[in-house]
Amino acid sequence: MKTVIFDLDGTLADTSGDLIAAANACFRGMGEGDVLSVAQDASTAFHGGRAMLKLGLERLNHPDIEGQIAEWYPVLLEAYGADIDRHTTLYPGVMEAVGALCGAGYRVGICTNKPEGLAETLMQRLGVRDAFASLIGADTLPVRKPDPEPLRQAVLRAGGDPAQSVLIGDTMTDRKTAAAMGVPCVLVTFGPDGRGVEALNPEALLDHYDDLLGVVQGLLGPAA
């Protein structure tokens, strides 16, 4: 079966507001106040909790960045999990696009570098978990993206054929993951990097989810 696998943060949903809020909770705990902002730091938010802590600590010129990341990362995860969907929204048209893919006969799943438990919780809170046949998180397997194995397992657990799959994402990590498995990558242009992702040379760009079915058919051919 031909399969479409989605990244989560920055691809299915704009999670930057809640991620930044969790990081700022840590900085407030350090006595520093809010260090990051969604307007300036959304792109870093999509690279994960450690990246946000590192950026903030660099701005603070902290002398022990690695030590502080190790100390505060669990705190960040706890803060994020406690308030995971206050600001998060699905991108326009995404669930209509997923429905169109399923209706055309494609399998769909998720492969994210968000911890699996948090990803499951978020998708449940957003009310869309049942639309996806698989979900692989950062800690589901011993390896994470850009290793191709999480993508391969996301396809297999969705009932698909890894050789006939495509990854929809928004970062270099997704580009490298798809390339490592030898399958096409589609990068969205509505994230914080905009059309800057074109420089990563994906097989296709996606400006709006209304166009996804046509893009997938162009890359994989009809599902049946």
Question: Known catalytic residues?
Answer: 7
Q: How far apart are CA 25 and CA 69, in angstroms?
A: 14
Closest C-alpha to 141, from 116, 122, 117: 116
CB 79 within 8 A of CB 25: yes
Sheet holding 165-169, edge to edge: 135-136, 107-111, 3-6, 165-169, 185-188, 204-206
Residue 58: C-alpha distances to residues 66, 71, 74 (Å):
11, 16, 19
Q: How far apart are CA 197 and CA 143, in angstroms?
A: 25
**What is the Cα Rg of the chain in Å?**
17
Characterise 127 by phi-psi region: left (phi > 0), alpha (psi -120 to 50), beta (else). left
Closest C-alpha to 5, from 198, 193, 219: 219
DSSP 52: H
Cβ density class 17-41: b for 16+ within 10 Å, e for less: bbbbbbbbbbbeebeeeebbebeeb
